[in-house]
């Protein structure tokens, strides 16, 4: 039976702020190695026989970023399913099961993997998958339990029964209970990875949560194709209960099995987890970027834009980006999410986006801003185009610094090359395109009474965006 990888990419990674943001979460970052966590997940079954192309489930905001990362590694997804709203992992997996079964009458074996995990030993991982496959083919719902190395209080646990049976799923314990679990030797961390036949998953979901199944079925059947993506119906999916695979089915079913996995796993759930998963120097430090250190130990030091000097630190996290700096003690790594919550409550953009914002056509980055003006640097990919649009409250001046631009301005269409410029008056319909073979770089000066990104009226868009 062919394995169908189902990559669940709905997380926002708030504990890894300021690198991870709502519109560019941790699974899209290169935290360990040259590939992003999403790309590592998509490559995890490479070399195994009888494995299909992956199917991904993600939210609408990340769809172009995910498709681009797959393209960069030469992979094509069976499909990319878009969730209109987040409803946790059980509805996401149900959408995947319905999509896979729609394409075939054969048995479909699904391997559900979060997009933001790290697994160091691919060989051991694939061995565990082969063991799980034999159980799943027989109708078992298989979870993969991580052999614990520390008395971790941040994970749920699975108690092993006889053979591969699950004796119990256990909530996150306190420190003393976690120590007892570790000493007992028959408890595993709950990894959030699962393998099962699609038909068995739907049967068990119908047993325990029939309303969820019907809402997901309606959302899928009433959904629509959008280029390379399949968009679930927003109204139907929004009516679905939010629930995890564990709570919805695994803790209720009598078909649960567990396979132990000891392959260097981490969910990189906080900065302390990244420190633990990374290679450290003789002083126990992890340093990335332009970093100098003195009398510093057991610390995580990341600099993306500026020189970072650390003196006399112990167990400290310092993360620098173009628009934010985080300083925290490792023992408070889980509390970073509280900063994100406060940023969100204050309606500050730093919880949501970086200074560089990615779009399907490329990216833009804020350079300067003041009263009634802002300056951006735009990079447009070869062959890409911004939407045909108009602004009610701002005018724009474009200067080409690299490449060739095709400009639509009202009824005019003309070309601009390096050091040439044009002015787009307020209320004028316009479009910017890159007809060349190299990235187009533009300096854009905006001026007007309101400069928000929502002051865009789109008339045409090759990416089918509505906002």
- Which DSSP string do the residues of 207-247 spell out, in sequence order? HH-HHHHHHHHHHHHT-EEETTEEE--HHHHHTSPP--HII
**In a shared domain, residues 424 and 334:** no
> Has residue 189 got a pLDDT over 90?
yes
Q: Indicate if 386 and 360 belong to the same structural domain.
A: yes
Out of 232, 266, 300, a domain closes at 266
- Give pLDDT, residue 10: 87
DSSP H helical segments within 222-310, as ranges?
A: 234-238, 245, 271-277
Distance CA 359, CA 63 (A): 10
The conformational region for residue 347 under phi > 0 = left, psi -120 to 50 = alpha, else beta, is left
CATH code of the domain covering residue 412: 2.60.120.10
Say if CB 259 and CB 132 are below 8 A apart: yes
139, part of any domain: yes
What's the Cα-to-Cα distance from 76 to each of 51, 69, 79, 117, rounded to whole Å?
Answer: 13, 10, 8, 21
Q: Specify whether 77 is located in the same domain as 221.
A: yes
384 domain residue, yes or no: yes
pLDDT in tens, 296-348: 999 999 999 999 999 999 999 999 999 999 999 999 999 999 999 999 999 99
Does the pLDDT at position 112 exceed 90?
yes
- Establish if 322 belongs to a structural domain: yes
pLDDT category at 107 given cuts 50, 70, 90 is confident
| Same-domain pairing of 26 and 134 | yes
Domain containing 130 — which CATH number? 3.90.550.10
Alpha carbon of residue 218 to chain centroid: 26
Q: Helix, strand or coil for residue 202?
A: helix
pLDDT of residue 105: 65
Q: What pLDDT, on a 0 to 100 scale, did the predictor assign at position 11?
A: 81
**155 falls within a domain:** yes
**Does 333 lie in the same domain as 245?**
no
Whether residue 143 is predicted with pLDDT greater than 70 in this model: the reply is yes
Q: What is the pLDDT of residue 12?
A: 80
| Cα dihedral sign, 290-293-297-299 | negative
- What pLDDT is attached to residue 465? 86
Q: What angle (nearest 5°) sits at the alpha carbon of residue 3, between those of residues 122 and 226?
A: 105
pLDDT over 80 (residue 158): yes
Give the pLDDT of residue 1.
Answer: 87
Mean model confidence pLDDT for the chain? 95
pTM value surpassing 0.85: yes
Tokens matching residue 30: 């290169």
Find the angle CA(104)-CA(108)-CA(112) to the nearest 5 degrees: 130
d(CA 180, CA 176): 7
Task: Check whether residue 41 and residue 125 sit in a common domain.
Answer: yes
Domain hosting 68: range is 3-266
- Residue 146 CA to residue 134 CA, distance in Å, equals 19
Q: How confident is the model at residue 463 (pLDDT cuts 50, 70, 90)?
A: very high
Same domain? 153 vs 73? yes
Domain shared by 81 and 199, yes or no: yes
Q: Looking at the predicted structure, is the pLDDT value of residue 467 above 80?
A: no
Query: For 165-188, what is each residue's pLDDT tens digit?
Result: 999 999 999 999 999 999 999 999
Report if residue 345 sits inside a domain. Answer: no
pLDDT at 103 over 80: no
- Give the residue from 266, 284, 313 where a domain finishes: 266
Q: Judge whether 347 lies within some domain.
A: no
pLDDT at 388 (0 to 100): 97
Residue 183 placed within a domain: yes
% of residues, the chain, pLDDT over 70: 100
Q: Which residues contact 446 (CB under 8 A, 6 or more apart)?
A: 373, 374, 375, 376, 394, 395, 396
Q: Indicate the pLDDT class of residue 385, thresholds 50, 70 and 90.
A: very high
pLDDT at 399 over 70: yes
Which of these three, 266, 293, 309, is where a domain ends?
266
Are residues 160 and 114 located together in one domain of the fold? Answer: yes
Same domain as 280, residue 258 = no
Question: How large a percentage of the chain has pLDDT more than 90?
Answer: 94
Per-residue pLDDT tens digits for 424-453? 999 999 999 999 999 999 999 999 999 998
Average pLDDT over residues 201-217: 97
Residues 316 and 381 in one domain: no
| Total domains present in the chain | 3
With respect to residue 20, please indicate whether it lies within any of the assigned structural domains. yes
So what's the pLDDT on residue 296?
Answer: 98
Q: Please tell me whether residues 311 and 425 are part of one structural domain.
A: no
């Amino acid at each position: 039976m062919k394995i169908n990888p189902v990559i669940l990419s709905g997380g926002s990674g708030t504990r890894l702020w300021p690198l991870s943001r709502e519109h560019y979460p941790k699974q899209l970052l290169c935290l360990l190695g040259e590939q992003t966590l999403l790309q590592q997940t998509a490559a995890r079954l490479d070399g195994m026989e009888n494995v299909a192309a992956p199917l991904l489930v993600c939210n609408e905001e990340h769809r172009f970023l995910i498709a681009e990362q797959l393209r960069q590694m030469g992979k094509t997804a069976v499909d990319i399913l878009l969730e209109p709203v987040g409803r946790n992992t059980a509805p996401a997996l149900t959408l995947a099961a319905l999509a896979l079964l729609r394409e075939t009458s054969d048995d479909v074996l699904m391997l559900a993997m979060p997009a933001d995990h790290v697994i160091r030993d691919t060989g051991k991982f694939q061995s565990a998958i082969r063991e799980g496959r034999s159980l799943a083919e027989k109708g078992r719902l298989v979870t993969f339990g991580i052999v614990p190395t520390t008395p971790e209080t941040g994970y749920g646990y699975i108690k092993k029964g006889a053979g591969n049976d699950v004796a119990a799923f256990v909530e996150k314990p306190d420190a003393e209970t976690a120590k007892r679990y570790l000493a007992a030797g028959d408890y595993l961390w709950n990894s959030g990875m699962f393998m099962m036949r699609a038909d068995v998953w739907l049967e068990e979901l119908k047993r325990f949560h029939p309303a969820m199944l019907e809402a997901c079925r309606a959302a899928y059947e009433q959904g629509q194709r959008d280029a390379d993506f399949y968009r679930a119906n927003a109204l139907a999916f929004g009516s679905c209960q939010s629930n995890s695979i564990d709570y919805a089915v695994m803790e209720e079913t009598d078909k649960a099995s567990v396979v132990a996995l000891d392959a260097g796993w981490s969910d990189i759930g906080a900065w302390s987890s990244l420190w633990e998963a990374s290679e450290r120097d003789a002083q126990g430090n992890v340093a990335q970027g332009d970093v100098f250190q003195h009398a510093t130990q057991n610390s995580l030091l990341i600099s993306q834009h500026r020189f970072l000097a650390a003196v006399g630190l112990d167990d400290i996290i310092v993360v620098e980006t173009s628009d934010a700096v985080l300083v925290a003690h490792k023992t408070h790594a889980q509390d970073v999410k509280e900063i994100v919550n406060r940023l969100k409550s204050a309606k500050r953009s730093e919880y949501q986006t970086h200074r560089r914002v990615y779009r399907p056509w490329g990216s833009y980055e804020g350079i300067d801003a003041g009263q009634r003006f802002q300056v951006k640097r735009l990079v447009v990919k070869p062959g890409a185009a911004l939407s045909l649009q108009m602004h009610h409250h701002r005018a724009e001046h474009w200067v080409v610094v690299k490449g060739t631009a095709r400009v639509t301005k009202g009824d005019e269409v003309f070309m601009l090359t390096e050091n040439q410029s044009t002015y787009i008056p307020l209320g004028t319909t316009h479009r910017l395109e890159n007809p060349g073979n190299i990235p187009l770089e533009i300096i854009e000066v905006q001026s007007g009474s309101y400069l928000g990104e929502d002051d865009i009226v789109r008339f045409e868009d090759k990416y089918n965006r509505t906002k």
